[in-house]
Amino acid sequence: MTIAGAQPGGRPLVTPTLVALNVAVFAWTVATSGSVSRNDRAPLFQQWALVPAAVADGEWWRVITGGFLHFGPIHLLFNMMALWVIGKDIEPALGRSRFLAVYLVSLLGGSTAVMLLSAPNALVAGASGAVFGLMGALAVLLRRLRIPLGQVGGLIVVNLVITFLLPGISVAGHLGGLTVGALATAALVYAPAARRLPVQTAALGGLSLVLLVVIALRMTAMV
């Protein structure tokens, strides 16, 4: 087994599937908006993007679907490159199901932070919350394997600096995803071998439940 309890071997499957799904959604928004650079005009974009006020009005799906939308091709390219480069190394270490769980709970973590810290009418989209979660996951994996962070630590620092310096980037989404991704991965790789699966399941389920409760409380406060 790998350090997370998965069967070793097998090429990445979840990572390219996630990339393909994001690209397909982007292509649909381009086709329906009639614009590559202003694809945010597409009806799907308006229905799926993360807007805290809309979530508070009951459109709860936005906390997940917003992570599959992107503002233009450059936004998509950077996120998909990062997803591929990091994901293809983490997925074999965690296993497909665990990798997907970390990705999704990281996405939810980023959305939770946006709900708490962003303006009610802010329009947020992109896979970067989940991608930052994978960065946190990679850092925890290396720490668990006692491998120096080196370039990975530098990568995280550089991306955090960019997050704070460039306008139009969701600082809350990035930090939320990074934190939750690290916590979720720690639960996977530090679970005791004798009771690995139940501990991992309880930890990820509990973390997801906490995030959903926080979102629900925030929705109630905004109504």
Say if 5 falls within a structural domain: no
Say if 6 falls within a structural domain: no
Q: Is the pLDDT of residue 80 over 70?
A: yes
Catalytic: which of 33, 70, 75, 174? 174
Which residues span the domain enclosing 192?
14-222
pLDDT of residue 161: 79
Say if 1 falls within a structural domain: no
Identify the H or E element spanning 18: helix 14-33
Residue 195: count of CB within 10 angstroms of its CB: 10
Catalytic: which of 33, 106, 118, 128? 128
- Phi and psi at 123, nearest 5°, equal -110, 110
Mean pLDDT of 24-45: 96
pLDDT, tens digit, 9 for 90 and up, residues 118-162: 999 999 999 999 999 999 999 999 999 888 777 777 778 887 777
The two most distant CA atoms of the chain are separated, in Å, by: 55
170 is catalytic: no
- Tell me how far apart the terminal alpha carbons of the chain are, to the nearest angstrom: 48
Number of domains the chain contains: 1
Residue 200: count of CB within 10 angstroms of its CB: 20
CATH for 184? 1.20.1540.10
70 is catalytic: no
- On the 0-12 / 13-18 / 19+ scale of CB atoms within 10 A, 66 is buried
pLDDT of residue 9: 67
pLDDT of residue 148: 79
Residue type at 119 in one-letter notation:
A
pLDDT, tens digit, 9 for 90 and up, residues 6-16: 777 678 999 99
Alpha carbon dihedral 66, 71, 76, 79, in 10-degree steps, equals -60
Mean pLDDT of 183-205: 94
Mean pLDDT of 99-118: 97
Q: Is the pLDDT of residue 165 over 70?
A: no
Q: Is the pLDDT of residue 99 over 90?
A: yes
Cα torsion 140, 142, 148, 149: sign: negative
Task: Quote the CA–CA distance of 109 and 103 in Å, as a whole number.
Answer: 10
Say if 20 falls within a structural domain: yes
DSSP string spanning 69-119? --SHHHHHHHHHHHHHHHHHHHHHHH-HHHHHHHHHHHHHHHHHHHHHHS-
